Each structure stands twice: as structure tokens, then as C-alpha cells.
Amino acid sequence: MEANNISNTEAKKELLDAISHAFNHGVSFLNSMALECAVELGISDAIKKHGNPMTLDELVTTLSIHPNKGESLRQLIRLLVHSNFYTTQVLVNGEEAYDLTINSQILLKDHPLSQAPLVALIRLNPLSNEPSSHSISLAKWFRKQDEGTHLYQGIMPNDSKLNESFNQAMASDSRMVGSLLMGSDEFNGLIQGVESLVDWILHNWSDESCIKVLKLCKEAIPSKDKGGKLLIIDMVVGVPSDNVKHSKSQYLANMHMMFLFGGKERNEQEWKSLFTKAGFSHYNILPILGSRSVIEVYPA
């Protein structure tokens, strides 16, 4: 496309859309910064405690925001409203007020399945909490032979605050997954008669490491005719295929695992390859956890 003389209306629209697309991706780190800020300030918790939608002035007072930053708080919430974390409504006196959505409710600190610890982990993670340096580090990572600093080995053992935050985030995620699965008739059918379960993690390891883990699993469980099977709760990229939000989560998680651990989120063919190399005969994918699935894997 020539940049000197763009007279075609459709061409102009495509160019302007492309500019916005590139800009949105370039500053998308502001989405996570805004969300982390909202959790740290306690915006959602304040609205819940108030019992009604809150005006900007009420939030400024309740959250001890500096008086000079009131308008800045409005700009922050405006972005979060656009991202469907809050809604706005006009009160009878004409003032604008903010209320919770289901997206902000699951970030309440007292929610039984609160995802707030996962958001807090973003701020403490030294490999991903500085957007500009993170971009540079990722480019350097691609040009280096080694896999870079592994979060488990090189950072967490020396950072007690990060270690605690990581454990809280993982516990929060486990509670959420466990609650959803225990309410699923499909999953309850899968574990009927199962006498023991061991928690294994795969997406943060390389293919070679995963094959080693899977082989050990195969050695530890009975044969299929005696009820032996492996249940994996993880992402299968492309499953489900009809939800844009779930797909986005999968591709972002894939980059996260790659950079932090040298791991990856796998599609069905990649999972199948691991199972075959580890000596399993067949599998079944149940897409019952949003962006994640439950995979039944059977030994020969």
C-alpha cells in the first residue's frame, strides 16, 4: 500500500484499523497494569462494602486517593469499564457511579474463588512486570542458546515474597478448578472408582521432560483393563474452537510458559505425540474448563 496518496475509502479504513491494531498491542501491558492497580487499591472491595454503585468522589475518599489524582482515577476506571470489569450508571442527581460485574466479583479478596492472587503475581514477577524491559528481554531470549532464567530454579528460591505470592496464586487457581470440576457430572464420572490421585504439572516443561513424567505415570498406574488411567487438566490449544476469549487465553499462556519456563501450551497433535512416545495407547479430550480441558489418557 502506497503511503503517499491513499484516496480509496476502504484502503484508508484498513490502514487506520491496522494503526489502531498495532497501537493496541504495543500498549496492551497497560491492561494488566490497570487491573493490578484496581486490585491493589481495592476498588472492587470498596464497592462491595458500600453496597451500592459508588461515585468517583466516594471512591477517592474511601480509597484514600490523593485529591490531585481524582481525575486520574476516573481515567483508570474508564479503561476498566471498557474491559468489562465495571459498569457505569447515572444516579438521579446526574452523577456517574460505578458498579461491579462478574469479572470484578471474582477479584474480590473475600470471594471463595478469588483470582486476585493471580493478578498480584503479575506485579511481583520480575520476568514479566516491567513491560518495556520484558520486551527487550524476550528479544534477547530468542537470540540466546540457553533457555534463560527458569522461574523455579533461578528466582523463586531467592525471593520469599514472590514465592509466597506464587503459592497463593496457584492455591487460588486450584480452588477454582476444583470447585468447577466437583460440580461437573462429566468429571465425577471420570474419577468414579479412582483410589488415588497425584498432582502433576506439564505445560511448564519441555517435551523431553514431559515424556519422562508421563513414562513415570505409566509405570505407576495399573493397566487399562484394571482401571488405570491418567487425567491431565491443561490447555489444548484450539479446543474449544468457538470461543475467542478462550483462544486468546491459550495463545497468551503459551507465550508465558515459553518465556518463564521454556514450556508451552500444546495443541491436540502435540499432546498425541507426547502420549505416543510415553507409551500410552489412546486419549479423550473433554473441553469442560473454558480455556482448559480434562484429558483422559489410557495405557495399553
Q: Is the dihedral of CA 229, 230, 231, 234 positive or negative?
A: negative
Q: Percent of the chain, pLDDT > 70?
A: 88
Q: Which residues are catalytic?
A: 203
The top-scoring range by mean pLDDT among 129-133, 190-194, 200-204, 288-292 is 288-292
Nearest to 297 by CA among 205, 202, 208: 202
CB count within 10 Å of CB 120 equals: 19
C-alpha cell, 22: 498495532
Read off the pLDDT of residues 168-198 as tens digits, 9 standing for 90 and up.
Answer: 988 999 998 999 898 888 888 888 877 777 6
Q: How confident is the model at residue 132 (pLDDT cuts 50, 70, 90)?
A: very low
Distances (CA, A) of 166 to 48, 151, 169, 264: 26, 10, 5, 19
- What is the Cα–Cα distance from 149 to 147, expressed in whole angstroms? 7
Report whether 262 contacts 147 (CB < 8 A): yes
Comparison of pLDDT for 156 and 65, the residue scoring more: 65
DSSP 154: I
pLDDT band at 150, cuts 50/70/90?
low
The alpha carbon of residue 281 and the mean position of all alpha carbons in its chain are separated, in whole angstroms, by: 31
Domains within the chain, CATH numbers bracketed? 9-105 (1.10.10.10), 112-183 (no CATH), 186-300 (3.40.50.150)
- Quick check: helix, strand or coil at residue 166? helix
Q: What is the pLDDT of residues 16-46, one digit of tens each?
A: 888 899 988 988 888 988 999 999 999 999 9
Per-residue pLDDT reduced to its tens digit, 73-122: 999 999 999 999 999 999 999 999 999 999 999 999 999 999 999 888 86
Mean pLDDT of all residues belonging to the chain:
87
Amino acid 60: pLDDT? 96
Q: Is 222 exposed, middle or buried (0-12, 13-18, 19+ CB in 10 A)?
A: exposed
